[in-house]
Amino acid sequence: MRYWKVYWHHDFPDEPVAIYSEVGPDGHECRRVEEFPGARVGWADPEREVGGCALAEVPPGDLATVATQPEFTAFSILREEFEGVWLRARRSTGERDAGSPD
C-alpha cells in the first residue's frame, strides 16, 4: 500500500482542501479521506461513502505526476499518519467502529 496526502489549492467552498488516499498495489484507491473548508470531513472505502466523499473511479496515477500540477502539493505519508486521519474522520462522522480493515 501507498499513502498520499494532497493539498488542493483553490477557492471552491464545496471542494476538499486536503485529500488523503490509501492506494493499493493495483493503483486504485482503497480508502480516502477529504477535509473541506470549515473542518467538515468525508471518507470513503469500497463499501461506504460518507460526507460527499467517494473513491476515485480511475487510478490516481503517480504521486510525482500529481505533484507537478500547480494546484496540488502532494506528499507520500506513512501508514500511521493515514490511519490517524482515517480514525478521526470516521469518529467525526459518528462511525461507531472506527477500526481499519486488515
Please indicate, yes or no, whether the overall pTM of this predicted structure exceeds 0.85: yes
87 pLDDT more than 90 = yes
How many domains does the chain divide into?
1
Question: Residue 99 — pLDDT band, cuts 50, 70, 90?
Answer: low
- Does residue 100 lie in a domain region? no
What distance in Å separates the CA atoms of residue 34 and residue 20, rounded to the nearest whole number? 6
- Comparing 54 with 93, the larger pLDDT belongs to 54
- Comparing 97 with 67, the larger pLDDT belongs to 67
Domain that holds residue 58: 2-92
55, 29 in Cβ contact below 8 A? yes
pLDDT (tens digit per residue) in 11-40 = 988 899 999 999 999 999 999 999 998 889
pLDDT (tens digit per residue) in 43-83 = 999 999 999 999 999 998 889 999 999 999 999 999 999 99
53, 42 in Cβ contact below 8 A? yes
- Does residue 97 lie in a domain region? no
Q: Which residues contact 52 (CB under 8 A, 6 or more apart)?
A: 34, 42
- Does residue 99 lie in a domain region? no
- Does residue 101 lie in a domain region? no
What is the DSSP track for 30-81? EEEEEE-GGG-EEEE-SS-EETT----SS----HHHHHTSTTEEEEE--HHH
- Does residue 22 lie in a domain region? yes
- Does residue 69 lie in a domain region? yes
- Does residue 31 lie in a domain region? yes
- Does residue 36 lie in a domain region? yes
Q: Which residues contact 27 (CB under 8 A, 6 or more apart)?
A: 59, 60, 61
What is the per-residue pLDDT for 102? 46
